[in-house]
Each structure stands twice: as structure tokens, then as C-alpha cells.
Structure 1
Amino acid sequence: MALHPGHADYEQALADLFNGDAAASDPLMILRPRCEQDVVAAVLQARQAGVPLMVRSGGHSRFCAADGALVLDLSAHFTAIELEEDQVRVQGGVGMGALLRDLSPHQCMLPVGTHATPGFGLLLMGGIGHLSRSLGLTLDSIVALRGVRADGTPFVLQGEAQDPTSWRLLRGAAPFLAVITEATLRTHARQSLDVMRSLHALEGLQSYLQEAEVMPRSRSCSFVLGTPPESKEPAVLSYVVNVARDSDDSPPEADSLGVWWDRVMGLEDLPDFNMPLHDGTFPVEPAADTNRRRRLRSWIHAISVKSGQTESLACSLNKAIQRAPNPLCRIDLQHIGGAVRDQAMHSSTYRGRDAEWSIVISGLWHPDDRQAGPLVRQWSDALFDALAPICCHVYLVERHPGTIRYGRQLQLAYAEDLALLQEIKRRWDPDQILPTLDAPSPACM
């Protein structure tokens, strides 16, 4: 099915996107395939027309739609979830939150991200969440992939035995090479989780980071730096998750003022990873603006840092959040390490396994404020630059093609794998319809 500009279904498809930048775009056409052959036809159509092909899965990313592009919307019909013993077959239009909810009655789960909205972009690029330290990346659960290369060739991969190079490259870089229509994932037993949240002053960030870095892998301590809903001053939200045992009682800190402790039955039941009100609850989310062009815009970096950098890290983050252009801007520190390090570095193209922290710098603004965009982008870029000297990896779920930083992002993301990825991309994507792996030359900036 093809949706064209001016049609109500076209407008609704864009309005349904979570990401404000993508929702505000004007694609050439939106295609909703029903089968793999429709995906092949869409790939060939993009090649023949010489236009970019954007893939819509969860609708979380700003790369799921763009001006003048063909949008391949998998969320309409590629939504099957089939569980067989300890594996689940998932089609490419399924969001990670929906997958968790579907698995919960079967008492199984997957380690996914800190929010419910991402789709296959998170799965294929890495997948960092509250259970990464104990269960690994979402990507580490993949046991089979099905899809269509950017030249229109369908493929099926069952582990590394058949084609070890493609298997390794697709897990961590698939959005640059192919459209993944289906993944088979190894599930884990659904577990009860204890979560403890608390708000703190910025001044203690270094000590909080130091305490987190010596925690066992069964425990994850992530943070949000931002402005709470009822405050004008930025603060630190500490968010600790660990696997509960039947004998566990609530920790002593749970009775302290400003500490909120919960035991939940599965990952999908955790409280939002967001700044709370003074009583630990969350403000009522306003309804999404019916005008798709008036959603929040974003400029986001995701950069990884090894352990032992707490002093310089805390100093840079404290300064940055106090200089944030508006209260919408935030900095997340997602705690990794543990089981993420168990997999060999070259088992996939995700090269951030040595990191302790994945730092997500979220610059947000409302499009009605015409002066806000450049200020927020400058703020987010400046923090990226400040952290670059201690950075060991860039998580390319957020990237900035066409900018002066993109070459550095690619090198930090893929290191020595970059040259091989670029070579494979030239073969698999001869017309460059999928996202680029090339940085612009300085003369073009």
C-alpha cells in the first residue's frame, strides 16, 4: 500500500511517529509492505528513483522519515510475534515495549532499552537498558535474521556458520546495509525486579558514579541529570535496578524521605526513567499535538565512557546541565558493563563493550521557539566535544550525518571495522539509498 502527500492516511502515519523531527518531515511516499516481496519492490523502487529509503519500525528515531524519501513503514503489517520454547520470532514493525508486554504472560522477557518506544533500530544497533549488566545487550539475544539487502537481495542468516562476516556486521550496523524484516531472539525467564529511585543535588554526582562502578553485575545504577517538573534547578535522579529474590526485604533506604522503592514483576512494569514529581509520581503527559509539525525537536548524542573517569565526567556533566538552554534538555547515564563485556569485542560491530556508561545528551526544544534550535544544538555539540577526550565509543542510534562531527562519530562507533563496513556497503548498497557511512569532506561543510 502506498500513501501519498495530501491523503489523510499519509498525514496520520506521520502523526503517529514518536519522534518530532520525523513527524514534521515530508516524505515523497510512505509504503506499507505486507510481505517480503513488497519490501524487495520498495528497495528496487528507491534505487530506480534515486531517493533515500527510510525504515519505520518503532517510530522513535528521527531517521525513520525524511523530506523527499521513500518511507518503508513496517509497523502496519510486519507485527507478528511468535514464541516457541525459549525463542521468539519478531517481525520488523514491532516495538520493544510491545514485545515485552506480549512476552509477559509467558513468563519470559528480553533485555531492552530504558524506554518502550524504540523498535528494531535499538535491537540491531545494540540495545542498552536496565538489565544489560546482568543479561547483556538486546543485540546479544539475536539468533537469526531475515531481511533484504539494499540491492534488493533477500537473505536469511541462522547464526554465524553460514556467513560469519555478514552475521557480525549486521548485528551493530544493519540499518546502513539492509532492511531487517524479522529477527529470532533468545528469551530469558521473567524476573521480579527491585527498583529504587531518589533525587540528589548535582554536587554528589562524582561519588554516586564511584559507588555505581563497584556494584555487582546483578545491579544497575543509572542516572538522569535534568530539571524535575516542580523545580527550577537541575538535579540528579538515581535509578537502581536489581534482580529480586524472594527473601529480599525492602532496603533500609526505602523508608527515607525522597526515596521511592518498588518491587515489580517484570521489566515492562518498571517506573518511567524520567524525572518525577516530589512524591515520586509523574505529571500527566499532555496529549500529543494534533499538528505533527509542532512536536518537540531534538539534537541527541550518545557517547560511551569507561570506568575510572568519574572526576572529569562529573565535572563536564555538572557544568553542562547547569548551562542547559531550557528545562527540556537532559543527560542520561545508562549503566552498562557486566554481562555486556562477556561477549568478544569482534562478535558484532557494537564496539562499546568496554564502557561503563552510555551517556545520552538530549537537546530538546519546541519548534515555535525559532531561536531555540541553534542554542540547543550548540549545547549538545559542546558537551560531545568536552567528553570526546575520554570517550571510548559512540552509540550510533543517534548520529549526525553531514556535520563536521560525523567522521569522528563513525570512527568511535566502528573503529577498525569501519573500512570493512564501507566496503560491504558499496557492494550491498550501490545506490546509497540507506544511511551513509561516509563523512563529508571539509570542503563540503
Structure 2
Amino acid sequence: MNNIDNDLIFQNTQAQDFNIAGIYKDINSELLEMIKNDLLHPKPLMICGGGTSSQCAAKGHWTLDFRHRFQAIKLDTSNNQVVIEAGVRMENLIEKLSDFNRTFPIGISGVTGLGYILTGGISPLSRKYGLAIDQVLEIHGYWGNGNKFALSKPNSSSSDQEKLKWKVLCGAAPFVAIITHLKLKTYKLKPLGLWESTLSSKQLAETIEMAEKWPNSASLYWIWGNTIKAYGVCEFDGENNHESFTKILNQIPKSKDFNISNAKNLNHLKRLKPQLIGQSLYEKQYSEVLGLLGPSINKKASDVLNVIEEIMNKRPNENSYICAQQLGGATKYSTKELSSFVHKDAIWKPWITGSWKANDIKSKEKSLLWIENSWDSLKDYFPGVHLAQLHPHLNWHQKEINAAFKEWLPKLRQFKSEYDPKGILPPL
């Protein structure tokens, strides 16, 4: 065990400032003994792969930080499958794969770690390739009871128990297991066409309706802060995709700042952060994020955006905002029996970010209430939750767990009671 390091830095500002109990940089005999004998207190154990979640650290809790000793990326060029360890960030993964003309469907932030994959993994390329969790071929790690495991993706000859374990791990792993490495499928690296534009609410509604009819090689994502900024991605794979991209460009509404560009890989995407006004460079901000999931909104896009406009008029500060990302296509056809991501009908993932000044309790309460009220306003359109961020420390944690797993939750809880009986990992 290592005491808290002076140079311990988390990507998440709030996590950075927690006074944690200590840090483990490896799963050694001491940690396993504490897990098996229920000597690790307080619980749960915090896991840090990318350090982007507020729950990679918590006051008085222990953190298992994979970022130092679990950085290996090994591509097998004979089958184009890659093994990555738990401390690998997604931006490093696709840069490494690019050296071999391969890629992986990472999200719109490259600084995320393995948690991006383990909670589902929604990418601008998901409509073509499926969720990141659909690309997993092997999972290695330790159950919450301390027992080691290694699982391969089930096939027709796999037992029901093997299939059950796989389904739990693919989308709900953070609740039952500590994952040390994954084996993943990769794809041939292909160029990307990108566009971006500032839009009005009416123009965004028009674009959303168009996007639901786009080919699976194209997707839309947007951010509503002080302005509304929309972005499009299209992967080129032959002349047809170039024609599709050109058609999209000709149809979408545009503003004076409309811009078209090309990119080698997803590391070149614009990161979704609002254009802030009046924020001091020295002003530290904390935040929490809630991701929702819902089906097609098609002709209801204007209604949805009217609701969001009302929400934004009530936001607590200019650092709080709403974004959305498109799913559909291949994400609808992955095998439901092999994943805890139960929202196969999801076409949109909006997420709500509430921010506040560090250590400002009143501002924090106001922002968290805004997130919850915004969720209530949008739940009819987006009834599901994507647990890309966990909130066991917040009073609406149980509500988001119910919305994330729906009818699958009782079986999931039963599994957790067997494989994490002491509650070493986050609660369900």
C-alpha cells in the first residue's frame, strides 16, 4: 500500500480535492486479503482508470489507481485483436492502434479510461460498429469477493452461468468486479469527415430530424451552453460515404462559423465543453453529470428542445449545460442477452452537467437540484439512464439505478449478492 502521493492527480477536479484514506497501485496480496476478510473500510473501494469520474476518489475512502502500472497495449497483428490494461486512456489506445492502421470506437472524450467501455461506451462511430462493450472478447479481473476470473465471450456451447457472468460484466462490471484488462476487436482505420456549426434551437430541431435518417456511417452530437453548437462525424469507406457526407452538408442548416474538416481518428474531435463567459482562469469548478437515454424523437424534436430551452433558462450558472449524442444503427442489433446495456431502442443520449464553485455548498445544492429537476422534465422523452458516471453519494442514486437496468435489476442484484457479498464495490 502507498500513502497518498503528493503528485496524485485526478482528471476530475472534485475527485482531486478529496482527502482520501490512501491509494493502492496494484492488486496485491494485502488488498485481496482486506477484500476477502471485509477489512476495507469505509466502502466502497474507489477505482481509478482514467480519473474522469468524481467517484474515482472519495473522502476517507481507498482508491485503487491503475494508471501507473496497468498501461500495456498489445495488438496481435495476426487477428487485429488488442489487449489493454485497466490504466489505459482511450486517446492513448487509438493513437497506438493508428500506428497499425487500426482503430476503436472511443467516445468524444479521449481522456476516459476503461470505465468508458465497461459502462457501455457510446461513440460517434457506434451507429456503425455498435457500443464499445460490444467489441469486448475477453474480460479479466477479480470479483468483489476477491476471487480471480478470466472470461471469454460466450458462444452457442457456453453454459448459462458463463452467459450470465458475461452479461453482468458487459455494462454493470463496476458494481461486481475489478477489471484488470480486456481483449477487444479493432477496426481498419478510415478517414473521417467533420463539420461544426452554431445553430438556433429551430435549426437544431431540423438537424435532429435529418440525423435520424442519416446512414450509420454518420452521427450528430451537440452542446447547449451559452450558444448551441452542433457537430457531425462521418466515416469514409468508399465513394458512397463521400456522397452521403456531401448530401448531409448540403441539407443541414448553417451559420457564419460553419466549418468542414477531415481527421485521421477520433482524437481530433472537438471536446464538448461550453463556451464560458466571465470565468476566472483560477476559479476551480466541480461538477456532476447525469446521462439519459431515449428512443427516436423525430417529429417531436421541437417539443424536446422547447423543454430544454426552459431548463437552460433556469440553469444555476453558465458552467452548467446540456449535451446530446446519437445512437441507433448497430447499437440496436447487438445481442441483448450478452449485455447489461438494456436500452437497445435508444437513439439519443442527452446528458446534464451541473457545475458549482469548489467548496460552495449552496451553489452545489442548487446545481444538483437543477440536474434532478432537468431529469424530471426530460424523462418522458428519455426514460433510461446511461451510467457512464456513478453517483452512490447522491440521493437520486437508486432512481438512476432503476432507470439504467429496468427489469434486469433484480437478477443483477442477486448476482451482486453472490459475487460482491460484502459490498466492496458501488451499491445497486
Task: Settle same-fold status: TM greater than 0.5.
Answer: yes
Establish whether residue 31 from structure 1 lines up as the match of residue 30 from structure 2.
no
Q: Which runs of 5+ in 1 are unaligned?
A: 228-234, 278-282, 438-445
User: Deviation per CA, 1:164-201, whole angstroms, max 9, x where unpaired?
Assistant: 11011100000000100000000011110000000012
Q: Which amino acid aligns with 1:238?
A: A
Establish whether residue 306 from structure 1 lines up as the match of residue 295 from structure 2.
yes
Establish whether residue 146 from structure 1 lines up as the match of residue 147 from structure 2.
no
Structure 1 stretches of 4+ moved >4 Å = 35-39, 249-256
1:239-388 aligned within 5 A? 239-245=231-237, 248=242, 251=246, 257-275=256-274, 295-308=284-297, 309-367=300-358, 369-388=360-379
Q: Which residue of 1 aligns with 2:163?
A: 164
Establish whether residue 22 from structure 1 lines up as the match of residue 15 from structure 2.
yes
Establish whether residue 131 from structure 1 lines up as the match of residue 125 from structure 2.
yes
**Equivalent of residue 414 in structure 1, options 402, 405, 418:** 405
The separation in 1 between residues aligned to 2:189 and 2:217, in whole angstroms, is: 15
| C-alpha distance 429-246 of structure 1, shift in aligned 2 (>3 A) | closer
The separation in 1 between residues aligned to 2:366 and 2:333, in whole angstroms, is: 40
Contact 1:50–1:431, Cα closer than 8 Å, also in 2: no
Q: Which residue of 1 aligns with 2:67?
A: 75
Q: Which residue of 2 aligns with 1:12?
A: 7
C-alpha displacement at 1:39, in angstroms?
Answer: 5.9
The separation in 1 between residues aligned to 2:228 and 2:218, in whole angstroms, is: 19
C-alpha displacement at 1:145, in angstroms?
Answer: 0.4
Q: Which amino acid aligns with 1:144?
A: E
Contact 1:193–1:244, Cα closer than 8 Å, also in 2: yes
User: Deviation per CA, 1:197-244, whole angstroms, max 9, x where unpaired?
Assistant: 0001234332222122221211101111112xxxxxxx2111110012
The separation in 1 between residues aligned to 2:280 and 2:166, in whole angstroms, is: 42
Q: Which residue of 2 aligns with 1:223?
A: 222
**Equivalent of residue 418 in structure 2, options 427, 430, 439:** 427
Contact 2:141–2:150, Cα closer than 8 Å, also in 1: yes
Q: Which amino acid aligns with 2:3?
A: L
Q: Which residue of 2 aligns with 1:40?
A: 32
The separation in 2 between residues aligned to 1:433 and 1:205, in whole angstroms, is: 44
Q: Which residue of 2 aligns with 1:213?
A: 212
User: Deviation per CA, 1:133-188, whole angstroms, max 9, x where unpaired?
Assistant: 11111111100000011111000001123611101110000000010000000001
Over aligned residue pairs, what C-alpha RMSD do you find? Answer: 2.4
The separation in 2 between residues aligned to 1:302 and 1:198, in whole angstroms, is: 23
After superposing the two structures, state which structure 1 stretch, 135-144 or 404-413, moved more: 404-413
C-alpha displacement at 1:370, in angstroms?
Answer: 4.7
The separation in 2 between residues aligned to 1:44 and 1:295, in whole angstroms, is: 39
1:157 counterpart SS class: strand
2:209 counterpart SS class: helix
Q: Which amino acid aligns with 1:208?
A: T
Contact 2:198–2:255, Cα closer than 8 Å, also in 1: no
1:190-205 aligned within 5 A? 190-205=189-204
Contact 1:296–1:367, Cα closer than 8 Å, also in 2: yes
Establish whether residue 118 from structure 1 lines up as the match of residue 107 from structure 2.
no
Q: Which amino acid aligns with 2:295?
A: K
The separation in 1 between residues aligned to 2:48 and 2:203, in whole angstroms, is: 40
C-alpha displacement at 1:399, in angstroms?
Answer: 3.7
The separation in 1 between residues aligned to 2:188 and 2:28, in whole angstroms, is: 31
Q: Which residue of 2 aligns with 1:98?
A: 92
Q: Which residue of 2 aligns with 1:231?
A: none
Contact 2:54–2:288, Cα closer than 8 Å, also in 1: no
User: Deviation per CA, 1:252-282, whole angstroms, max 9, x where unpaired?
Assistant: 66997311110111122223334469xxxxx
Q: Which runs of 5+ in 2 are unaligned?
A: none
The separation in 1 between residues aligned to 2:362 and 2:63, in whole angstroms, is: 30
After superposing the two structures, state which structure 1 stretch, 207-216 or 121-130, moved more: 207-216
The separation in 1 between residues aligned to 2:383 and 2:274, in whole angstroms, is: 28
Contact 1:20–1:297, Cα closer than 8 Å, also in 2: yes
1:350 counterpart SS class: coil
| C-alpha distance 169-128 of structure 1, shift in aligned 2 (>3 A) | same
Aligned length: 410
User: Deviation per CA, 1:351-396, whole angstroms, max 9, x where unpaired?
Assistant: 1221111011011122154532122112111111111223232011
The separation in 2 between residues aligned to 1:67 and 1:256, in whole angstroms, is: 46
Q: Which amino acid aligns with 2:350?
A: I
After superposing the two structures, state which structure 1 stretch, 79-88 or 313-322, moved more: 313-322
Identity of aligned residues (%): 26
C-alpha displacement at 1:323, in angstroms?
Answer: 2.1
Q: TM-score, normalised by structure 2?
A: 0.89
C-alpha displacement at 1:245, in angstroms?
Answer: 4.9
Contact 2:86–2:114, Cα closer than 8 Å, also in 1: yes
2:400 counterpart SS class: helix
Q: Which amino acid aligns with 1:12?
A: D
Q: TM-score, normalised by structure 1?
A: 0.86
Q: Which residue of 2 aligns with 1:238?
A: 230
Contact 1:21–1:295, Cα closer than 8 Å, also in 2: no
The separation in 2 between residues aligned to 1:217 and 1:429, in whole angstroms, is: 39
